[in-house]
Structure 1
Amino acid sequence: MTATVLRTQLSGVWRRPGRLLMTGLSVLVAAFVVFGTVLAYAIVTRTTLDTFSETPEAVSVVVYANGGEPLSPRQVGEIRTTAGVTEATGRVTATFTVGDASSGTDLELLADPGSGPLSRITLISGGYPRAAREIAVDRRAAGRLGVTTGGTLRLNTGDRTAAPVTVTVTGIVDGPRDAAERAWAPDRVVTGISGTPGLPRVDILAAPGADLSAMMSGLSDRLLRDPMAYLSVTTGETMRVREARAAVRQFDQLFALVAMFVGIAVVAAALVATSTFRIVFAQRLRQLALLRAIGAQQGRLVVALAVEGAVVGLVTGAVGVLLAQGAGLAAPAVAGLFGRTVSGPGMPVGAAVAVVIGAGLLTAGAVLAPAFAAAGVSPLQALRSASTLPAERGIAGTRLAGGLLLSAATGGMVWVTVRSMGSSEALLYLVGVGAFGFGTLIALGPVLIRPILAVAGWPLRTAGPAGRLAVSGIGGTPRRAAAVSVVVALGVTMLAGTVVGISSLQLWTDRTMASRTPADLALFAEGGGGLDDVLARLRADPRFRDVTPFRMADFSTADGGFSHGAIAVDMGAMTELRTLSAASGQVDALGPGTVVLSASAATDFDATVGDVVTLHSGGMVRAEVVAVLTGDGPLRTGAILTPADLDALGGTSAGILADIATGGRDEALAAFRSAGNPAGAEVAVLADERDKADDEVSSLFAAAVGLLGLTVLIAAVGVGTTTGLSVLERTREFGLARALGMTRGRLRLMVGMEAGLYGLIGAVLGIVLGVPMAWLALESLRLDLPLTFPGGRLALIVLVTAAITVLAGLLPARRAARVSPVAALAAD
């Protein structure tokens, strides 16, 4: 009997391949996403291993410090005199700022021989540095710093107690592409400028035909005589592979994050599959009841339905894997059209089989609850003329009790999370809040549908009969609406929480950048002489606005343990400075004998508003603290003083801040420099740092939205599938509506509105759950980010989600409108 029942169910599946595809569409999408992620990781890994190399191909042997002291000049000399060594060059990187020590432009100085097989750069103009305090800069750095061959730069180490180093630019070079400004010089020049003798690494070029093993043994014998020497000797090829693998490992955390979002998408696919099978089985109640009437036991029906689900999962999972494999194989050709080179993903058969089997198991598990419900139908149901059971208006008492219990558990977890704010367990408790909260949503969803629909559906009721019918259609099947909307809510919850978190991060970044980079451009001059004429020319140039002078000085605490910068600037002269926020006190209370401290300086002084602090430099200033900022002061300073108090400190420098009013940044930068350049002055493009911070936040936002979009995509698939199956189920209803005069256009509109309502209800539930979760996360994890409510972005999420679900219902709506009234009324 079991085999007969199984054949009956599977024959229906094969006779209707379209129904099979519709039923398992969410699983197909999930399989495509999972296997696509596997292939993407393979592509990134292979491409990195094939193309990445910080070590030039000509390098034969590498000697590097393995966690100990760098190689001394004596050890470098022994390397160069080892038999078989043709050339040896050190690798070291030092970081400086050009202009002000805190707010100048960052510049990386790298060691390179400048020519030959061990070099990574190409000289464009001028000559490569050979003498002390000479450097060559790459083209990007030359443009940003406004320096040409023969010019000079002042390099600051970041230590305010150390004097800047003035270097001469001897040439312009092309090197490996990087977002940072870079300069290059021989290893001995770099160590001389940085003041740190010793090299962390030396690259060696072996003579043609040299025995690398013998050379490495000789190097080990000479370098490892000292038992305290922690050095390693390896081949260049090994180092290249190691660097490539290290570069690949940096993607592991990224793909681990991607895997988490993919897991959420798989959960959404399982929920969609459960809802879909519930509808499909409800449409076959008469068939199932007849099987019960002729002797099929409930257990055998459950097994048959579970097998049917597994078959659907295996087939659609295989299709998803094949589609993903095709996209992966096409990736190199597509990348080639855009001038990029990527490696193919290969064919990971094991992963493909695992994804297909996982799809089958996922669907078999998702079908169990609907299978038990459908198999439990009474044989007397076979005598009913309708193909579906009447819609149940409420939920069972056990489900209601379970939902209330989950709701109480959610509240308890919130209380525990609040009590543990800042502890290492807070994240674990947050996960519990999310799990219990979403469980509550699943259990009580049918109860929540009607009040939400009463509010969300009000505008549709005013749209005429189509709108009223759409609202009543959703309200008449609250369980189905809840099952579909909860999947949408899952994606929107994650999306809303992410938007709130990133909006808070954006606000914090804007506040931080407002103090660190209060202008687009800055000119720093040591003495300050000649700035009056430059200031006048810049203020007369329409390409600039808010041109403001400033003066700076260094100071330290009474014990000399902490050093900061102080600034005197008109706080109301620039837009960014007017937005400077204080954690306590009032910034505009600044006056003679008072000071505004940064957060770090206030910590170093152990001072709060109302305390008197003493600033030590060439002179001494005692001032009352009138405000403590949330972060740094302007240009990363630690204190804001009046000009008179700053003069009392002594040793001041001066400069000019300006925003770009019109024209491009490069054009404005050239005009800013042409206005005048007093001796020893440097120009910094502060807007670059602000743009970099904004780009990082924007990239994070785009990546998060893209990954969470997978869940919304699967939810949209669920809406489309549910709407399509609902159209098949309600053929006679639509035929009656058409017979009573409803036009095809209004019928399409009604079905589209129903699909949109699924998304709208889910979006509302997601916002209600996601925003408090995000606030709780920010507070409990002590991230010190301001709590925000990005109403515009959240409203956009609701509208876009509703629009996506409307689009998902377009095809079923067209199918419903094409049925003739006569044929629909004759259908069973």
Structure 2
Amino acid sequence: MSASVLRTQLGGVLRRPGRLLMTGLSVLVAAFVVFGAVLAYVIVTRTTLDTFSQTPEAVDVVAYTTGGDPLSPGQVAAIRDTPGVAGLTGRVTASFTVGSPSSGSDLDLLADPGAGPLSRLTLVSGAYPRAAREIAVDRRAAGRLGVTAGSTLRLGTGDRARRPATVTVTGVVDGPQDATERAWAPDRVVAGLTGEPGFPRVDVLVQPGTDVPALINGLSERLLRDPAAYVSITTGETMRVREARDAVRPYDQLFALVAMFVAIAVVAAALVATSTFRIVFAQRLRQLALLRAIGAQRSQLVIALSVEGAVTGLVTGTVGVVLAQAAGSAAPALAAMSGHTLSGPGPQVGAAIAVVIGAGSLTAGAVLAPAVSAAGVSPLQALRSASSLAGERGISGPRLAGGLLLAAVSAGLAWLTVRGTGSSEALLHLVGVGAFGFGALIALGPVLIRPILAVAGWPLRRFGPAGRLAVSGIGGTPRRAAAVSVVVALGVTMLAGTVVGISSLQLWTDRTMAARTPADLALFADGEVGDVVTRLRADARFRDVTPFRMADFSAPGGGFSHGAIAVDLTAMPELRTLEASAGRLEALGPGAVVLSSTAAGDLDARVGDVVTLRSAGEVRAAVVAVLTGDGPLRTGAVLAPADLDRLGGVSAGVLADIAAGSRDEALAAFRSAGGPSGADVAVLADERDKADGEVSSLFAAAVGLLGLTVLIAAVGVGTTTGLSALERTREFGLARALGLTRARLRLMVGLEAGLYGLIGAVLGIGLGVPMAWLALESLRLDLPLTLPAGRLAAIVLLTAAITVASGLLPARRAARVSPVAALATD
């Protein structure tokens, strides 16, 4: 009998592959996402291994020091004289400060032959340096320093015992990129500028046909005779792989984060699958009851339905894996069309099998609860309508009690989280709050959606009969609506919490960077800046040109040191955004001081206290305000100019924003304004852009990854709407017979799908925002809680729109059925 029951269930499924794919669509998407993440990691890793290496492909052997002194000229000569060596080049990086007239920028000088198989460079313009005191710069350095072939630069090392060297720029090159300005020259030229004749590393090119292992052994005998020598010798291929793996390592952390979000998407897929199978089995109550009537045991039905779910998972998982493999294989060709290079992932058979088996296991687990419920139908229920069970209202007493208990546990953990002090303990509590809170949401969902539906349904009823029918359709099946909406709520909870958290981080970053980098450009001089301010104010490329003065101070007892600044806090837009946690910034004047939060803590000072600041001189000033963070340019105090002068040891500088032209052009003009010798120029806008870019990248990555959960939830809404439309064919036929047009019927089904998303979004916002606040409070991140109302509203509207779109196809199919055929359907 059990075999017959199993054949009956599987036969019905396999005869209708379209229904099978529809039932397991969420699992298909989850398999695609999981296997796609695996392929993405493989692509990134292989691309990095294939393309990223500071060691050119032609390098056969690398000798480098692992400690102590670099390779001496004698050791380099010994390598050069070894039989089989066709050529070599030293590798070294030296840091210089570019001095007047192009002052204030750091420049890294790297050794490279400039041509041949051992070079990493491509000449863009001019010529590669060959003589002493000649260098080539990359495009970034050329733009930032305002130089071309033939320009001269004055390089200083910061070592007062060494005199600055004037070098000639002979050309512009493209090479390995970095965040700093870079220059290049042959190894002997770099050695002449640094005064260090040796190299920490030497790349070796061997003659064709040379036995590389034998050559390495010979080099070892020559270089390691001195027991104090710290020299390692390896092949070029080994070095390239080592460098590439070092570059890949940061991606491991990124993909660990991706794995966490993918796991959330898998949970959403499991919830969608559970809801879908509950609807499918409810539609087959008569068949299941008849099987019970002719002798099928409940356990046999549970096994048959579980196997059906596993088969559904295996089939849809396989389809998802195949689609992901096709997308991964097409990625290199698509990247090549946009001018990028990606390595293909190749067939990942082991991972594919694991994902397919995981999809089958996930679906088998997801179908278990609906299978147990459906198999418990009594034979007498064979005479009932298949839709009657779906229309049952409310929740049972044990479920209500369980939901309230879960909510109480979540609230208790939230209280412990706020009171806790340890970050690891807080993280565990946060996970518990989220898990128990979401469990309570699942249990109490049918009760919670009613007040939301009452509010959301009020404007929908203005759509006429279609709106009223849509609201009543959702309200008539609260369990089903709750099951689908809770999946949407899972994605929206994570999304809303992330948006609130990152918005708070963005506000904190903006406030911090407004103090640390109040201008695009800054000039720092040991003495006075002369008439630089006048010249810059006369240049249309700059605006808000503001002079400032700085000094260091400490408390009378010592123990710490801070910087003090005298600057007009109303002169620049960023300075005007500074906020005080206590006091008033407008009260700053002679005999008054504004302290940073750190300096106020070190001085144990509050608004109204009189503090003593000591340097070469001494100043007593009343605290009129305490900032929420640092003072301008990371200083600890803001003073009036006369008070700052009394401290002594004063330096001067100029701040300016760029009004016109590119940043590189403005930087070149800023440097040429005639600052004093030895002055430094800092591009503060670079630091601000970097901080903004990191936050923006974090926001985009988090939203993109969490969007996977919303996508799977939308798939669940579409599947539920489609199955519901099949279940309610007679209802739709009756509505059409009573005069409801096709357009109105499509609108009704679309509004029902949108209501699933709207209810889930409201529940998700209601859970996600408190979770974000709890995270900020418990982890002591010192971030201001920000409620980005516009973004949160956009999440609600976008979620509703996505779910409406997911219901368009079922709506069209429902509207195409004629009233006569619909009324004849059982």
For 2:761, the equivalent position in structure 1 comes to: 763
Deviation larger for 708-717 or 315-324:
315-324
For 1:552, the equivalent position in structure 2 comes to: 550
For 1:121, the equivalent position in structure 2 comes to: 121
The answer to whether the Cα contact below 8 Å between 1:567 and 1:639 also exists between their aligned partners in 2 is: yes
CA-CA distance at 1:199 after TM superposition: 5.7
Letter in 2 for 1:249: R
CA shift in 2, pair 1:5/1:104, >3 Å: farther
Deviation larger for 2-11 or 460-469:
460-469
For 1:736, the equivalent position in structure 2 comes to: 734
Superimposed CA distance per residue, residues 122-169 of structure 1 (whole angstroms, 9 cap, x where no aligned partner): 45436638657x754322122123244444357687x9x999967645
2:822 to 816, 819, 824: 824
The SS at the match of 2:463 is coil
For 2:404, the equivalent position in structure 1 comes to: 404
Q: How many angstroms apart in 2 are the aligned matches of 1:630 and 1:277?
A: 54
Q: How many angstroms apart in 2 are the aligned matches of 1:170 and 1:724?
A: 70
Letter in 1 for 2:380: L
CA shift in 2, pair 1:236/1:396, >3 Å: same
- Pairwise CA RMSD: 3.3
For 2:64, the equivalent position in structure 1 comes to: 64
The answer to whether the Cα contact below 8 Å between 2:155 and 2:167 also exists between their aligned partners in 1 is: no
CA-CA distance at 1:770 after TM superposition: 0.9
Match runs of 1:26-105 below 5 Å: 26-66=26-66, 68-69=67-68, 71=70, 73=72, 83-84=82-83, 89-93=89-93
Letter in 2 for 1:701: F
Q: How many angstroms apart in 2 are the aligned matches of 1:311 and 1:765?
A: 33
CA-CA distance at 1:483 after TM superposition: 0.4
CA shift in 2, pair 1:537/1:811, >3 Å: same
Residue 719 of structure 2 is aligned to residue 718 of structure 1? no
The SS at the match of 2:27 is helix
Letter in 2 for 1:415: W
CA-CA distance at 1:231 after TM superposition: 4.3
The answer to whether the Cα contact below 8 Å between 2:90 and 2:112 also exists between their aligned partners in 1 is: yes
CA-CA distance at 1:749 after TM superposition: 1.0
Q: How many angstroms apart in 2 are the aligned matches of 1:291 and 1:320?
A: 33
Deviation larger for 458-467 or 436-445:
458-467
Letter in 1 for 2:533: L
Q: How many angstroms apart in 2 are the aligned matches of 1:153 and 1:754?
A: 72
Superimposed CA distance per residue, residues 21-51 of structure 1 (whole angstroms, 9 cap, x where no aligned partner): 1101111111111111111112122222222
For 1:459, the equivalent position in structure 2 comes to: 459
Q: How many angstroms apart in 2 are the aligned matches of 1:237 and 1:383?
A: 75
Q: How many angstroms apart in 2 are the aligned matches of 1:736 and 1:716?
A: 28
Q: Which runs of 5+ in 1 are unaligned?
A: none
Superimposed CA distance per residue, residues 334-357 of structure 1 (whole angstroms, 9 cap, x where no aligned partner): 112112221211111121111111
For 2:281, the equivalent position in structure 1 comes to: 281
CA shift in 2, pair 1:249/1:664, >3 Å: closer
Match runs of 1:237-636 below 5 Å: 237-385=237-385, 387-389=387-389, 391-531=391-531, 534-554=532-552, 564-599=562-597, 601=599, 610=609, 612-617=611-616, 619=617, 621-636=619-634
Letter in 1 for 2:42: A
The SS at the match of 1:367 is helix
Q: How many angstroms apart in 1 are the aligned matches of 2:197 and 2:432?
A: 53
Deviation larger for 383-392 or 754-763:
383-392
The answer to whether the Cα contact below 8 Å between 2:98 and 2:153 also exists between their aligned partners in 1 is: no
Letter in 2 for 1:254: L
2:788 to 787, 790, 794: 790
CA-CA distance at 1:423 after TM superposition: 3.2
The answer to whether the Cα contact below 8 Å between 2:146 and 2:664 also exists between their aligned partners in 1 is: no
Q: How many angstroms apart in 2 are the aligned matches of 1:426 and 1:356?
A: 36
Residue 146 of structure 2 is aligned to residue 137 of structure 1? no
Letter in 2 for 1:807: A
The answer to whether the Cα contact below 8 Å between 1:284 and 1:388 also exists between their aligned partners in 2 is: no
CA-CA distance at 1:586 after TM superposition: 3.9
For 1:748, the equivalent position in structure 2 comes to: 746
CA shift in 2, pair 1:630/1:131, >3 Å: farther
For 2:232, the equivalent position in structure 1 comes to: 232
For 1:689, the equivalent position in structure 2 comes to: 687
The SS at the match of 1:234 is strand
Q: How many angstroms apart in 1 are the aligned matches of 2:813 and 2:381?
A: 29
The SS at the match of 1:373 is helix
For 2:13, the equivalent position in structure 1 comes to: 13
CA-CA distance at 1:223 after TM superposition: 5.2
CA-CA distance at 1:16 after TM superposition: 2.0
Superimposed CA distance per residue, residues 393-443 of structure 1 (whole angstroms, 9 cap, x where no aligned partner): 111122112111211211121122223234322212211111111111111
Deviation larger for 20-29 or 551-560:
551-560
CA-CA distance at 1:573 after TM superposition: 0.6
Superimposed CA distance per residue, residues 641-679 of structure 1 (whole angstroms, 9 cap, x where no aligned partner): 322233334454433322234555455556656766665
The answer to whether the Cα contact below 8 Å between 1:284 and 1:387 also exists between their aligned partners in 2 is: no
For 2:642, the equivalent position in structure 1 comes to: 644
CA shift in 2, pair 1:375/1:105, >3 Å: farther
The answer to whether the Cα contact below 8 Å between 2:610 and 2:620 also exists between their aligned partners in 1 is: no
The SS at the match of 1:57 is coil
Q: How many angstroms apart in 2 are the aligned matches of 1:422 and 1:90?
A: 50
Letter in 1 for 2:709: T
Letter in 2 for 1:710: L
Letter in 2 for 1:743: T
2:705 to 658, 683, 707: 707
CA shift in 2, pair 1:547/1:771, >3 Å: same
The SS at the match of 1:462 is helix
Letter in 2 for 1:806: V
Letter in 1 for 2:126: S
CA-CA distance at 1:720 after TM superposition: 0.3
Deviation larger for 708-717 or 607-616:
607-616
Q: How many angstroms apart in 1 are the aligned matches of 2:767 and 2:197?
A: 58
CA-CA distance at 1:472 after TM superposition: 1.2
Q: How many angstroms apart in 2 are the aligned matches of 1:626 and 1:620?
A: 18
Superimposed CA distance per residue, residues 591-643 of structure 1 (whole angstroms, 9 cap, x where no aligned partner): 234443445555666666535243425x5555555444444332333443322
Q: How many angstroms apart in 2 are the aligned matches of 1:217 and 1:630?
A: 63
The answer to whether the Cα contact below 8 Å between 2:34 and 2:355 also exists between their aligned partners in 1 is: yes
The answer to whether the Cα contact below 8 Å between 1:129 and 1:170 also exists between their aligned partners in 2 is: no
Superimposed CA distance per residue, residues 163-187 of structure 1 (whole angstroms, 9 cap, x where no aligned partner): 9967645344322233433234566
CA-CA distance at 1:480 after TM superposition: 0.3
CA-CA distance at 1:685 after TM superposition: 3.3
Q: How many angstroms apart in 2 are the aligned matches of 1:253 and 1:517?
A: 30
Letter in 2 for 1:30: A
Q: How many angstroms apart in 2 are the aligned matches of 1:513 and 1:168?
A: 36
Deviation larger for 322-331 or 685-694:
685-694
CA shift in 2, pair 1:586/1:221, >3 Å: farther
Number of residue-to-residue matches in the alignment = 819
CA shift in 2, pair 1:595/1:96, >3 Å: farther
Letter in 1 for 2:811: A
Percent sequence identity over matched residues?
77
Residue 150 of structure 2 is aligned to residue 152 of structure 1? no
CA-CA distance at 1:524 after TM superposition: 4.1
CA shift in 2, pair 1:419/1:96, >3 Å: farther
Q: Which runs of 5+ in 2 are unaligned?
A: none
The SS at the match of 2:423 is coil
CA-CA distance at 1:382 after TM superposition: 1.2
The SS at the match of 1:12 is helix
Letter in 2 for 1:152: L
